[in-house]
Amino acid sequence: MDGIDHRPRPPIAAIRLHKQLEAVWGTPPGWARLSAVNHNIVGRRFILTAFVFFGIGGVLAMLIRAQLATPRSAFLGPEVYNQIFTMHGTVMMFLFAIPMFEGFAIYLLPKLLGARDMAFPRLGAYGYWCYLFGGSILVIALAIGLAPDGGWFMYTPLTSKTYSPGINADIWLIGVTFVEISAISAAIEIIATILKLRAPGMSIDKMPLLAWYLLVTAFMMLVGFPPLILGSVLLELERAFGLPFFDPTRGGDALLWQHLFWLFGHPEVYIIFLPAAGMVSTMLPTFARREIIGYGWIVVSVVALAFLSFGLWVHHMFTVGIPHLALAFFSSASTAVAVPTAVQIFAWLGTLAAGRPQLKLPMLYLLGFFSVFVIGGLTGVMLAIVPFNWQAHDTHFVVAHLHYVLVGGFVFPILAATYYWLPHLTGRVPRHSLGAPAFWLILIGFNLTFLVMHWTGLLGMPRRIASYGAETGWEWPNLLSSIGGFIMAIGFALFTVDVLMHWRHGKRCNRNPWGAGTLEWATATPPPSYNFASLPLVASRLPFAEQPDLGARLAAGAGYLGFVRDQALETLGVDAISGRIEQIVRLPNRSFLPFVSAVATGVFFLAVLFKLYLVAVGALVGVIATLLLWAPSSGGRCDRGPLPVGNGKTAVLHSEAASPPALWALWLALAADATAFASLGFGLLFLWVVAPNWPPPELLPWSPWGTALTIAGFAVALVASYLATTRRILARANRREAALVFAGLGQIGGLVGCAVIISAAPDPTRHAYAAVTLVMLLYAGLHAAVGLVFSGFGLWRSRAGFISPARSLDLRLGAIWAGFTAAIAVTVVLTVFGLPLLMRTTS
Amino acid sequence: MKPRLALLLIPAGFVIWASAFTLLYAALSLGCAFGWQNDAIGGVPPLRLTLLAIWLVHLAALAGLLIYCVRLRSAANARTSRFLRRAAIGSAAAAIAATVWTGVVILVATPCL
Ligand code: HEM
Ligand SMILES: [Cu+2]
């Protein structure tokens, strides 16, 4: 009746199926581990590495507290202290919080959704290596005393060449950009997985709440990180080549950095909080022993939070001199954000009140989360009020607030989540013995450290000072804070010991030890590399409620795809809304290529760091080449048509499907791209309106030939790439290949056009106007170059037999890229030639 | 209703909010830089008129969106489309509240101070 075969099967069949699946999905031990792309392995690596970085960040925090414990302390000099607090903030935000959530997402999502892996396993592996290499660059720099020291928000002009001459600031810019690439690729992968790779029947309203939270968070990353990446690139261009974006003497403005940074920086806080809140929404109903209250309300409030949190970046800049009315906009947005947060808190409390809560160990940490996070939220509303903000700005009150939010809103939920999902990884249940004392030490230590810090802040102690005098009246609160910090550290140490002991000595348990309702507990614990021997049909939000024996039945192969076909890794793709079966997604197998690509990427960044630009160009070519080498193993060389997926259903392969995950990925990448471009536009507008020394001394001269060539080139590329995907041309190899050649020629034309315009442009080192103009033209040119790669790739795929009217994905991707590139190019041409016209008429 | 469209309706209200917010901030900055607060049209500086216009147009768009969502009919998969419709109504209403709340200061505050 539910389309699933209910006949009992002999266990021998289950074991045989397991062996067959493991043979294709598994990763062998030894050096071959480096080739792992399986989400179980990649997710665990992310989590473990993030915990290591948390430890490093924690040690740095202890050093900070040791330094501040007594007045006039000579423990660390100001130079070292500056590096330490900068690295503490940087490590915690970029190397702990974001990757930790990525790790949980990568590990859990396919299981929550009833899939066998993430949509782009190699991308996940690549992202992990980028994270590891980028993070290592930062940590090594710290070890050799070259760490960035301008604070984690790197304010210009402090971090401009004049005031930070060494390579410290470059290390931050490059290390963080490296890590952000990994974050954006994770975001794309998370969205595509949630929207496409779900179990059949899991319509969008039956998704576990955690999937909703992660979906929204990933979208936030897609539009939140590009402004920071753009800002970092601009600052690096200023530092390396003297293009003056942030230098007020040459038409730049130091405040532009702050805008770009906080445009990312505030949403970042929610990017950290929302996944944790999603975990709370997953764990809490299990311990309350009832379904969560207000599923729909929570979804709406998460969406609201995502948007509102972008509209309040200026609350970090209340004291920089912005018109009052603008302050009022940002202040009201900042207070508004409390409302959707409160909706979720009431949903959680309501669920607890209506259920029969059990105080298991993870629940204890959840209670810690509630109490700490709510206080942080309240001080946040205080800080959103402009007059109070002017008083407390950059004092330890702010440091206290941010830790209540971050530790309350992220660390406590992560500790709870670790205990909650630990049985999934180890097949053992945690006990109260050490976990509970660890909790109390952390909670008491935390409050002692940071509650007191509110008081220190109100007494006027600024943040980021290495020492203070004995007559200030700050010595007692600081000593108390430091003692609290060390109590907390003991708590964390105990937590670590407990987790390690659990690994070895925990009590063995069956699957689903907490009695949860979500699908991740339907796998064996620890899970096999393919998660599910066959995929479930989902009919409700809590699949275990109707089918307590679900796990055993899936293991016996009673669901979909309970077999191995063509030695391929297969999982199901569904319609994003209804959860109807749409395609069979074939996933790539283990491969060293992601590792190699990441190494090439690392060489690129290091070369930029040491200003070896020829090496950098070579490495970039290497990155592109190795990324292209990923391709041959995806797609098919002949049309297969619909294939059986079990239980009497059929579906086509993703290479023949109308909307395969890769198509979604391209659209998402373009969304991130467009955001970076829009941030550049914002930067130009901002400088024009606000920066001193405008209008510029020299404007871009009108270039009819350059413009004509640019526009014509991009138009040809667009039309040819599009034609290559139309039925009549696609069907014949020679026609479509001719179209692709034209597309490539068009991109070359556009590239040359951009170069012609640039050749006449004013000197970019003299004024920010010329610098932004140059970057805009380069932006268009870069897109043309990638377009060229796309058409060459299409040609290669066509020659190699991957293209047919049914298998047109590669060409469709190229056509979408060409369209986007043309749109960018038109916007660039209008802007770079339109702005001079405007400036002539207004001045 | 096309189901894919319905999913986009959930963020639609807040997209309008974001547009209102961005345009208000941009218009305020441009207006202050180019002196739109110094003239007066019928006693009101053109800058404030611009801001009011931006605000009201967006509120009207939101009202339209809300009405559209309320009138939506369920498609084949009743449970899913009921959920989508309710969520769209909820977020459109929340976006209206947010837009009123962020914009209401235009009526009282002096721009460019
Ligand atoms: C584990 C216990 C922690 C302690 C004892 C601690 C302590 C501190 C202290 C004392 C400062 C102020 C440094 C100064 O102004 O001179 C600070 C700054 C900061 N902390 Fe923590 N922290 C902890 C955990 C975290 C976590 C978990 C996060 C984020 C997820 C975090 C993020 C930050 C950030 C972003 C700053 C600002 C750094 C800067 O001003 O550049 N901290 N921390
Ligand atoms: Cu903020």
- Does pLDDT of A5 surpass 60? no
Instruction: Report B:25-54 residues touching A (Cβ under 8 A).
Output: 25-26, 28-30, 32-34
Mean pLDDT computed over A435-447? 97
Task: State the Cα–Cα distance between residues A439 and A444, nearest whole angstrom.
Answer: 9
Strands (E), A639-795: 643-646, 649-653
Give the tokens for residue A303: 């969406």
A659-680 tens-digit pLDDT: 999 999 999 999 999 999 999 9
A89-138 tens-digit pLDDT: 999 999 999 999 999 999 999 999 999 999 999 999 999 999 999 999 99
Amino acid at residue number A731: A
- Angstrom CA distances, A313 to A13, A61, A681, B74, B83, stand at 58, 26, 18, 39, 32
β-sheet bridge partners, residue A508: A428
> pLDDT band for position A320 (50/70/90)?
confident
The pLDDT assigned to B41 comes to 76
Contact check, Cβ <8 Å, A577/B91: no
Task: Give burial (CB, 10 Å; 0-12/13-18/19+) of A483.
Answer: middle
Mean confidence (pLDDT) of chain B: 87
Q: Which one of B4, B10, B14 makes the best mutation probe of the A interface by having the most chain A beta carbons within 10 Å?
A: B14
Q: Which of B21, B94, B111 is facing A333, going by the closest CB pair?
A: B21
Instruction: Report A:181-240 residues touching B (Cβ under 8 A).
Output: 203-205
Q: Which one of B7, B105, B113 makes the best mutation probe of the A interface by having the most chain A beta carbons within 10 Å?
A: B105
List the single range of A4-8, A534-538, A732-736 with lowest mean pLDDT. Answer: A4-8
The pTM of the full predicted model, rounded to 2 decimals, is 0.95
Task: State the Cα–Cα distance between residues A178 and A108, nearest whole angstrom.
Answer: 25
List the single range of A319-333, A649-663, A666-680 with lowest mean pLDDT. Answer: A319-333
- Nearest residue in chain B measured CA to CA from A314: B25
Cβ A371 vs Cβ A440: under 8 Å: no
- Does pLDDT of A637 surpass 50? yes
The pLDDT assigned to B75 comes to 64
A29-58 tens-digit pLDDT: 888 889 999 999 999 999 999 999 999 999
Residue B88: strand, helix, or coil:
helix
Q: How many CB atoms lie within 10 A of CB A682?
A: 18
A613-636 tens-digit pLDDT: 999 999 999 999 999 988 877 777
A729-765 tens-digit pLDDT: 999 999 999 999 999 999 999 999 999 999 999 999 9
Mean confidence (pLDDT) of chain A: 93
B91 touches chain A (CB under 8 A): yes
Give the tokens for residue A350: 């309501």
The pLDDT assigned to A327 comes to 87
B29-81 tens-digit pLDDT: 888 888 888 777 777 888 889 999 999 999 999 999 999 999 887 666 678 88
Order across the sheet with A569-574: list the strands.
A569-574, A581-587, A649-653, A643-646
Cβ A231 vs Cβ A152: under 8 Å: no
Nearest CA to ligand 1 atom 29: A92
- Does pLDDT of A840 surpass 60? yes
Task: State the Cα–Cα distance between residues A6 and A13, nearest whole angstrom.
Answer: 15
- Does pLDDT of A8 surpass 70? no
The pLDDT assigned to A3 comes to 47
The pLDDT assigned to A195 comes to 95
Amino acid at residue number A339: V
Report CA Rg, chain A.
28
Amino acid at residue number A767: H
A456-509 tens-digit pLDDT: 999 999 999 999 998 889 999 999 999 999 999 999 999 999 999 988 888 888
β-sheet bridge partners, residue A407: none
Ligand 1 pocket member A152 (CB < 6 A): yes
Evaluate the CA torsion angle A134, A191, A681, A328 in order and state its sign: negative
The pLDDT assigned to A6 comes to 56
Report CA Rg, chain B.
18
Q: How many residues does chain B have?
A: 113
Mean pLDDT computed over A371-384? 92
Question: Where is pLDDT greater, at A503 or A256?
Answer: A256
The pLDDT assigned to A636 comes to 78
Ligand 1 pocket member A93 (CB < 6 A): yes
- Does pLDDT of B92 surpass 80? yes
Q: Which of A296, A325, A577 is facing B80, going by the closest CB pair?
A: A577
- Does pLDDT of A839 surpass 80? yes
- Does pLDDT of B1 surpass 50? no
Tell me, in angstroms, the distance from the centre of ligand 1 to residue A756's CA.
Answer: 49
> pLDDT band for position A592 (50/70/90)?
very high
A733 touches chain B (CB under 8 A): no
Q: Which one of B9, B25, B101 makes the best mutation probe of the A interface by having the most chain A beta carbons within 10 Å?
A: B25
Please, which residues have CB less than 5 A from ligand 2, an ion? A 266
Q: How far is A827 from chain B (nearest CA, A)?
A: 19
**DSSP assignment, residue A581?**
E
A300 touches chain B (CB under 8 A): yes
The pLDDT assigned to B109 comes to 75
- pLDDT over 70 percentage in chain A: 99
Q: Which of A304, A323, A578 is facing B14, going by the closest CB pair?
A: A304
- Does pLDDT of A347 surpass 90? yes
**A581-587 and A643-646: which strand pairing?**
unpaired
Q: How far is A332 from chain B (nearest CA, A)?
A: 5
**DSSP assignment, residue A658?**
S
List the single range of A46-60, A291-305, A325-339, A801-815 with lowest mean pLDDT. Answer: A325-339
Nearest to A611 by CA among A257, A254, A242, A248: A242
Cβ A580 vs Cβ A200: under 8 Å: yes
**A649-653 and A643-646: which strand pairing?**
antiparallel
A183-227 tens-digit pLDDT: 999 999 999 999 999 999 999 999 999 999 999 999 999 999 999
Contact check, Cβ <8 Å, B110/A310: no
Nearest 5°: phi and psi at A563? -165, 170
- pLDDT over 90 percentage in chain A: 82
β-sheet bridge partners, residue A395: A462
**A428-429 and A569-574: which strand pairing?**
unpaired
Tell me, in angstroms, the distance from the centre of ligand 2 to residue A320's CA.
Answer: 15
Q: How far is A292 from chain B (nearest CA, A)?
A: 16
A808-824 tens-digit pLDDT: 999 999 999 999 999 99
